[in-house]
Amino acid sequence: MDLFRVKSIDSMMAQRQTAGLRKSLSTFDLVMLGVGAVVGSGIFILTGTGSLIAGPALSLSFVLAAIACFFSALSYAEFSSSLPVSGSVYTYVYATLGELPAWLIGWILILEFGLAASAVAAGWSGYLQSLIAGFGLHLPEALRAAPGAVAGSASLFNLPAFLVLAAITALLSLGIRQSKRVNNAMVVIKILVVVLFIAAGATHVRTENWTPFMPYGMSGVYAGAALMFYAFIGFDAVASSAEEVRNPQRSLPLGILGSLLICTVLYVLVTLVMTGIVPYQDFAANSDHPVSLALQRTGQTGLAGVVDLGAILGMTTVILVMSYGLTRILYAMARDGLLPQRLASLHPRHATPFTLTWSVGLAFALIAGLVPLAVLAELINIGTLTAFALISLAVIVLRRTHPDLQRGFRCPGVPYVPLAAVACCVFLIAHLDRVTWLAFCVWVLAGLAVYFLYSRRKAVLAAGPVTQPGR
């Protein structure tokens, strides 16, 4: 059945050599991309909300969420080192499970990367307005937030959220070399800010604030893990850069696993320090800026301002990497004919999918300006968990269908580790809201409609020989 026709690995590798994307990313660049994508609103905003769910045991919630991500990260590492091509999990599924699953996961990844960029842009706007308010500067009320985002407000459009996404789109359109330099600089500053908070706050920790450590038991820890999984979204964007990496077999596994490890350590330490300074109950009234609140409690108000600036930089890198990852996934889909192929055309000077970058960037910039943050955040986790589950299943299939494929990294314990990843993802999905499930189903149905009405007929494989999975 042609719904499950697979794309040959030979053709994928041939595309890598002829695509025209510049190969300029090193291992360090990939680690910075991963940390840049992950460390953002999760650590600067969601830790306050998470503390109200899990108490001081939020640090354990982070560990559980990291374990779920780590199992899937091993599969990403094997695939990216074996198939260093654009598209991330979309491409990997196309080579193993077939076209329809690949289309669906590509469609779902729009939720992860696109909506995450828009959601973080909305959070970035809030931090920026808080920062400039300290200097007596205020935007007109109509331009402060999306319609309905603030109760009783007459806001019509979130102008800062729109502008930051438009600016990042402009940067990405110029090329990966320019983008990585900006990202690396901001990530280094962001890490220094987080380390500064840990060092400054550790001396003010009161261990009695950690008692009881699990006020809501393990159910609170599990619920916290389901929420804080959002804080790890983005490390998989490293795999999207595969066609622009100089030594993909070595650098991609190190970039994926290294960035995840760094982020986990930072998250656990920040959570322990934060809840050690401020009793977790106190975050109920100040959940939107928990890290700076902790410093304010210690009397370090100047450092709190530095943390706010670090949060702005942190969220900027998240927007950049998420936008970058989305463009490369859609670029791969367009190159395969599942989206209009003109979107895969590269700029003659910048060697970027210029038209695609601006089309997608402006679309999600408008979404950031017009849709409230709470609505944007609902679908991100479920889309990511679905992708993680599928990549874990796909690595099992790849081992069976291509046992002799050259692999720069091998996921240990196949099939047991990938199946553990699937189990973790299903467990976390089960803890998501019913409304999220409903919205997700609507999105999937819309994707199926697009596939059967357009993509199935226009796919490049529709004009060539069909290869069934496992052959």
More confident: 437 or 453: 453
pLDDT value for 470: 45
pLDDT, tens digit (0-9, with 9 covering 90-100), for 283-325? 876 656 788 788 888 887 778 778 778 888 888 988 998 999 8
Query: Whole-model pTM?
Result: 0.84
Residue 468 reports pLDDT greater than 50: no
Residue 99 reports pLDDT greater than 80: yes
pLDDT, tens digit (0-9, with 9 covering 90-100), for 229-263? 878 877 888 888 888 898 998 999 999 999 999 99
Task: Give the CATH architecture of domain 2-463.
Answer: Up-down Bundle (1.20)
Query: Can you tell me the mean pLDDT for 6-21?
Result: 78
pLDDT value for 155: 85
pLDDT value for 165: 96
- pLDDT band at 471; cut points 50, 70, 90: very low
Q: Are 61 and 228 in contact (CB under 8 A)?
A: yes
Domain boundaries, given as residue ranges, for the chain = 2-463
